[in-house]
Amino acid sequence: MKPSVAVKVKKIVSSIRKTRIERNYSQEYMAGHLGISQNAYSKMELGYSKITLYRLLQIADILGVEPSELL
């Protein structure tokens, strides 16, 4: 049985959060580099708002990882 989309999204946002914390980047730092508010970034990281492919590529770039590492 394939994992649901919600499970996949949860894994992706968990990976983003883990990588961000490993690099000692705050949500404010990430939000500033993305040009969004800390609140908007927090909602993405919690899975409350959608992360577009473009945004995922931006996040991977800021974190210095390949996008596939976040998947």
Share of the chain above pLDDT 70, in %: 97
Give residue-wise pLDDT tens across range 60-71.
999 999 999 999
Q: Is 20 helix (H, G, I), strand (E, B) or coil?
A: helix
Q: What whole-number distance in Å separates Cα of residue 37 and Cα of residue 7?
A: 26
Question: What's the CATH number of domain 5-70, 3.90.226.10, 3.30.1490.20, 3.40.50.2300, 1.10.260.40?
Answer: 1.10.260.40
Q: What whole-number distance in Å separates Cα of residue 37 and Cα of residue 25?
A: 15
Task: Name the pTM for this structure.
Answer: 0.90
Determine the pLDDT at residue 1: 60
